[in-house]
Amino acid sequence: MGEGVGVDGLVSMDSPIGVTGPVTAVNSDDDMTVLAQRARTVLASGRTALLTLPCERARGWVGMIDDGGEPLLMARADGRIAEAAQSGRRSWVDVPGHFGERLILTGTLRVVPGTTAQILSRLADLGRSVDPIDAVADGLAMLAVSVDEVVLCLPPADQAGRVRRWSTGAVGRRIDLATYAFAEPDLIDAYAPELIDHLNTRHAEQMCQLAGGGRTPGGDIAGAYVSGLDRYGMDLWRVDTTGAHPVRIVFDEPLGEPRSLGRELRRLLERAGRDAG
């Protein structure tokens, strides 16, 4: 494939990238609902995406934020991507998931009204974990894809949970657009890697307290490490004089969005402190 460097991080190409593997239909409504939720979760977890502009014969990685099922893309206001959006060009966006999923969203590229700061503020108010762009750079345009087709590619069953890249053997499943639109992402799953890293680096002492049943770190507890997080609870490893032991911390109620994790942890720590006393 011959390539030449383009603007906005895009590269020119001989042919656009699509779904190289087979695309199959989903068999039941229940399966469709589950896949739609997983697709929405993959989108919510994305921070970058591979944008393809078939009409421009170009593609490139861009910054991305989920906006209720539509990918918001960040590009220079005077660049090639923004120009394509102003012309209503057709595009598709590939979003990689944490576990080898590949979400492909197809539709018309358009410019989102409002300043970048206003858009980021609106998303933050909805509970989205939005990483601020450095000083919200001047001349940055926010673009969106008006999604009209959704395909979710899953890794082979024997590699589920272990794959960290797209698999050439993945089978694409086309998801009903209405089901996708009404599905809700699991935001705890989507932000789990960032939340786990935050807990282990910024709240190591509190994790030791939880793993030790409320006891102050020290004594026979050498440390604790969060290894998993979902809406129902946390998985930790407690390290003591006898070795490493798995600990499951169950939340009082399923978490709906990342901001609720801090409130739940405060309740758990207070309870653990009372029980230890």
- Minimal CA–CA distance to 195: which of 126, 251, 262? 262
Q: What is the DSSP letter of 132?
A: P
pLDDT grade, residue 38 (50/70/90)? very high
Beta bridge partners of 145: 109
Phi/psi of residue 259, each to 5°? -65, -25
Phi/psi of residue 214, each to 5°? 100, -10
Q: Is the pLDDT of residue 127 over 60?
A: no
Least confident of 62-71, 210-219, 261-270: 210-219
Strands (E), the chain: 4-5, 11-12, 23-24, 48-53, 58-67, 70-76, 90-96, 102-111, 140-154, 171-175, 221-230, 233-240, 243-250
pLDDT grade, residue 215 (50/70/90)? low
Instruction: Give the model confidence (pLDDT) of 96-113 as tens digits.
Output: 998 889 999 999 999 988
Q: Is the pLDDT of residue 12 over 80?
A: no
Q: In this predicted model, which residue has the larger pLDDT, 249 or 79? A: 249
Phi/psi of residue 216, each to 5°? -65, 135
pTM of the model: 0.77
Round to whole Å and give the CA distance between 120 and 45.
16
- Minimal CA–CA distance to 128: which of 253, 258, 272, 4? 258
Instruction: Give the model confidence (pLDDT) of 40-65 as tens digits.
Output: 999 999 988 999 998 878 888 988 88
